[in-house]
Amino acid sequence: MKRSTWLDVSTRAIILLILGGFFIASACSDPAPAQTINLLTDVEQGTLRGEVNGDSSVVSFKGVPFAKPPMGELRWKAPLPPESWEGIREAKDFGPSAIQHLRYSHLPNGPWTEEFMVQNEVSEDCLYLNIWTPSVESIDQLPVMMYIHGGALQEGSGAIDVYDGEELAKKGIVVVTINYRLGVLGFMAHPDLTAESPDNSSGNYGFLDQIAALQWINKNIHAFGGDADRITIAGQSAGAGSVRILTASPLARGLFQGAITQSGSSLISGWGGPTTLEDAEKQGVEFAELKGAANLKELRELTPEKLLEATEPSIRFRGNIDGYLQTADITTIFAEGKQNDTPFMTGLNADETRYRGTDETDFTKFYPYTSEDEKAAAVKSAGQQQSMLNAWLWLDHRAATAKTDGYVYYFDRAIPWPEYPAFGAFHTGEVPYVFNNLKQLDRPWTAVDTMVAETMSSYWANFVKSGNPNGPGIPAWEAYQTGEKAVLRIGEETGMIPIAESEDQIEFLTDQLKSENL
């Protein structure tokens, strides 16, 4: 598609040089107002105007619609392509986030301050994405990362501060963050919804939104200097779980070439197995009854506030095996070699883990202690080792059918926080380092944090570029190898470490994982 720019790159460079000379010549006069250079680019639906950052190294396009607003009769239906627009659409502000309960900050009950939480408007009209690119020249063909936010499929947004893509884009990739429908609006199944669906499916609307975003990116990312043949999907927590769903879904086949899961891949799950469509539909019927809705028409007439209003018993929706988006549980799909086989990177944080096991006698055999303090340290250490093992076991499982490499990390750098040292390397605490976004948080950062952020963001950018996180100036990250139970530690000291001290410990931890999951 033809692309136009308000100022092309060469013209912009000449003007900046002229302005620079003027500023030098005018040093003793009143300062000139700050200059903002806006670029236009064409996508399938029309023309967008983005915004250049302060040093003219990255252009952002925010609040770009990738599907029609899923409202009214489109509530609980698969996403449809967005409408076209006339003239120029301003893309300087984020679009609304998905309907959810806004909490702004979890403190003091958790480590998630406002930089980790949704701060903007929420609406059913929420299917927007945001792009940061170091180029809008289609000839550049830069690799692309589509990032899926976390939040237990109940909250979150692509507009959250710590997901700002500017610094990561400076490493030579196009960064895209997305919204998707959440909670009851994103994942409620119901037999009447299944009956009206041409795909005989219901309840996976949030995942379908993610696929719709991928489809839009494949069609349009060239307009932002991106390469549709080099797209990596990445996510944290529920976003990581979403990445796993997409790696297993036939609907996402060919739409991406790499996958990253942060705190979201394990072979042995404590969730008790996936939800069937039938069970999910029963949840939907129970929910409708609790809301006093006799049919779909009445459900669709309820306001979002009424839908989110607390009910007893509480029902949480999280998708299901519907035979369409997801054809079986993910471990089975990988065992049969039916997955989207791409390079895969996964890992976890040191202080989001817990020991899973009940055998106290054998525990003391492998993790001896003589005091309560030593016991607490031993339990913590066992939990961290067990979590590393669980992530490694997932790579071991996928290796049976995958032809691509897998990499696993262990992140143990705690955000410096004198008021809350106990939070440590908490769940989501790696995100500012991945995005090289320490500037988004007011913390007493040190040179170590800057180094960790530079290293970690380089691993991610390298993986997006080539499917391999390694590159110059950073410690070597070894790919999974059969029998080599080691992971990359990322922190003040970065390098490969063994999962546990002995094979006996690993066998014990594996047995405890399996016994707790049964």
Residues labelled catalytic: 237, 352, 427
Give dist(CA 238, CA 258) in Å, integer. Answer: 18
CA atoms within 13 A on the CB side of 80: 12
Beta bridge partners of 59: 52, 133
The amino acid that residue 148 corresponds to is I
Residue position matching structure tokens 């809301």 = 291
CB 150 within 8 A of CB 352: no
Cβ-based neighbours of 171, under 8 Å, separated by 6 or more = 436, 457, 458, 461
Residue 387 structure tokens: 């979590």
Give dist(CA 126, CA 99) in Å, integer. Answer: 8
**Parallel, antiparallel or unpaired: strands 495-498 and 142-148:** unpaired
Other C-beta atoms closer than 10 Å to the C-beta of 19 total 12
Residue position matching structure tokens 């992971």 = 487
Residue 146 structure tokens: 């589509």
Q: Is 487 left (phi over 0), alpha (psi -120 to 50) or beta?
A: beta
Residue 345 CA: distances (Å) to CA of 31, 233, 243, 360, 476: 49, 10, 11, 33, 14
Identify the burial level of 327 via C-beta atoms within 10 angstroms of its C-beta, where 0-12 means exposed, 13-18 middle and 19 or more buried. middle
